[in-house]
Amino acid sequence: MSSCGKPPTSADILNRSIAYHDPENNWPTFKGQFHITMEIPDQSNRESDIKIDLPADTFYVKAVKDTITTEFDLKGSECRITYNGSENFSEEIATANRLSCERATMYKNYYTYLYGLPMKLKDPGTD
């Protein structure tokens, strides 16, 4: 069976997907939190608590694995990182655990992209 109609463009498909997933256009005002358990074969689980507030431009993730707790807290351009509850940790600990504001921004981008699909595909630079 063939269709005589013009196939939909990628923009048409994206707009239909957004209309389905976010019919009330709630994504721009999203404020939420969730818990993720990452199961890794032959390792202990990593438990993460994530908070995203798009209107306030804030992002927070607390991850616990074994005896290590890390927190990345972004508020606009401000960045706060803790390791086992302390903001004072050695460069060795920072390097070994990838504790940097660049890493915090990567987490923010990753989680807002992952949970904001398909709406994030309308962001500037995604054409």
Residue, of 24 and 2, whose pLDDT is higher = 24
Among the listed residues 60, 54, 34, 38, the one whose alpha carbon sits nearest the alpha carbon of residue 119? 54
Q: Where are the domains of the chain?
A: 28-121
On whether the CB atoms of residues 63 and 81 are closer than 8 A, the answer is no
Rounded CA separation 121/115 (Å): 12
Give the tens place of pLDDT for each residue, 73-116.
Answer: 999 999 999 999 999 999 999 999 999 999 999 999 999 999 99
**What average pLDDT is seen over the chain?**
94
On whether the CB atoms of residues 33 and 52 are closer than 8 A, the answer is yes
Rounded CA separation 16/77 (Å): 34
Give the tens place of pLDDT for each residue, 41-66.
Answer: 999 999 999 999 999 999 999 999 99
Check whether 3 has a pLDDT greater than 70. no
Per the confidence metrics, is the pTM higher than 0.95?
A: no
Among the listed residues 93, 107, 15, 28, the one whose alpha carbon sits nearest the alpha carbon of residue 60? 107
